[in-house]
Homo-oligomer: A and B are copies of this chain.
Amino acid sequence: MSQALDDRSESIRMIRDSAGAVAPRGGDTKRVRAQRFVAPGFSREVFAEMASLGWIGLAVPEAAGGAGLGMSEAVALTEVLGAGLVPEPLIPAMLSARLLAASDDKALLDSGKVVLTAWQEKADSIAAPGTGDAPRVFIPYAGGADVFLLPVREGNRIALVSLDATGADVVLEKTMDGGFVGTLRADLSRASRIADDIGAVLEHALDEAALATAGQMLGLMEKAFELTLGYLKTRQQFGRIIGTFQSLQHRAADLKIHIALTRAAVETAAAVLDDGATGAVRQAAVSKAKHRATESGMFVLRQCIQLHGGIGYTDEYDVGLYLRRGMVIMNQYGSAALHRRRFMALAPEDVE
């Protein structure tokens, strides 16, 4: 496992470096702030750049038109983009890429179009029942989609259809971080079938998306904590640098531990998936990572606000942006409770 990680260290480093193209190193949030509540909530240019960097099909095998990398690279990437508060819907697009690679419409993978999969029928879920006429909910940045993919159940199998987003019935809601989520009521008569049996691929893709989201949360934690440490080292009260107050020092130590636990859980899970794990082993690794990222992530983000005091509660100061993004992603692809239950339902021998 760790050997595998060592072997990949070069490609991971390269991915991290290339992410700088989209997530400025200095942590400049000007673009991100300007994008807020401006439909569709992200930049199509930046998304196109991501596509051209090969990120959308990052984990898709080269034979199927992807970059042939793995989840270790994917979580490294989503971590950097998380730290940069990048709004573009990369993780949903990566999920769609997985499906497209297994479909009859592989051309769509390289089209540069924004392809979003409308898989979700209720809140806090990681399963796609594929109910044909069910409204599909919580589609991130649905207003920016060019094409929707919909899993549709047919007996024991789940087929995949694609639907042009133009003219689709999409209702948008604003999210805390300045983005949007949408509900799609699809007219399936307008859709084209592009795969017959996508169920297993979709399960796999949802697990990958959950893990990539855990990586994104790790990035939020790291960056918010970095800002907080900087604040603790400079802000003065009572004639002292507040970072000299032991109660704040010890809290910072606890946050560091939670970040380290999250990194270990996320990177271990990525290595497990890159080892080719399937079924219960894959689910256990993913649930463990997503559970940790959500629980520890929100703990860290909350405390970063607290450690900033009043200024942390202002929109003007960056640390709050991380909390608000955290709220949006914390339960995407399953809440901590969902993943805890899923983990506990697996046989111990699969988990360890």
Binding site for B on A (CB under 8 A): 245-247, 249-250
The residue on B at minimum CB distance from A245 is B246
Chain B residues, CB < 8 A from A246: 245-247
Tell me how far the C-beta of A309 lies from the nearest C-beta in chain B, rounded to whole angstroms.
Answer: 16
CA distance A247 to B247 in the complex (A): 5
Tell me how far the C-beta of A269 lies from the nearest C-beta in chain B, rounded to whole angstroms.
Answer: 33
CA distance A157 to B246 in the complex (A): 61
CA distance A247 to B254 in the complex (A): 13
The residue on B at minimum CB distance from A244 is B246
A-B contact pairs, 6 of them (CB 8 A): A245-B246, A246-B246, A246-B247, A247-B247, A247-B249, A247-B250
CA distance A247 to B253 in the complex (A): 12
CA distance A246 to B249 in the complex (A): 10
CA distance A249 to B245 in the complex (A): 12
Report which residue of A247, A249, A250 has the largest number of chain B beta carbons within 10 angstroms of its beta carbon: A247
Tell me how far the C-beta of A120 lies from the nearest C-beta in chain B, rounded to whole angstroms.
Answer: 33
CA distance A246 to B243 in the complex (A): 12
Report which residue of A245, A246, A249 has the largest number of chain B beta carbons within 10 angstroms of its beta carbon: A246
In the A-B complex, the 6 residue pairs with the closest CB atoms = A246-B246, A246-B247, A247-B250, A247-B247, A245-B246, A247-B249
Tell me how far the C-beta of A214 lies from the nearest C-beta in chain B, rounded to whole angstroms.
Answer: 31
Tell me how far the C-beta of A184 lies from the nearest C-beta in chain B, rounded to whole angstroms.
Answer: 40
The residue on B at minimum CB distance from A249 is B247
Tell me how far the C-beta of A245 lies from the nearest C-beta in chain B, rounded to whole angstroms.
Answer: 6
Tell me how far the C-beta of A346 lies from the nearest C-beta in chain B, rounded to whole angstroms.
Answer: 26
CA distance A315 to B156 in the complex (A): 66
CA distance A250 to B250 in the complex (A): 11
Tell me how far the C-beta of A131 lies from the nearest C-beta in chain B, rounded to whole angstroms.
Answer: 35
Tell me how far the C-beta of A246 lies from the nearest C-beta in chain B, rounded to whole angstroms.
Answer: 4
Chain B residues, CB < 8 A from A245: 246
The residue on B at minimum CB distance from A251 is B247
CA distance A250 to B246 in the complex (A): 10
Chain B residues, CB < 8 A from A249: 247
Chain B residues, CB < 8 A from A247: 246-247, 249-250
The residue on B at minimum CB distance from A248 is B246
CA distance A246 to B244 in the complex (A): 10
CA distance A249 to B250 in the complex (A): 13
Tell me how far the C-beta of A25 lies from the nearest C-beta in chain B, rounded to whole angstroms.
Answer: 35
Tell me how far the C-beta of A38 lies from the nearest C-beta in chain B, rounded to whole angstroms.
Answer: 44
CA distance A46 to B250 in the complex (A): 47
The residue on B at minimum CB distance from A250 is B247
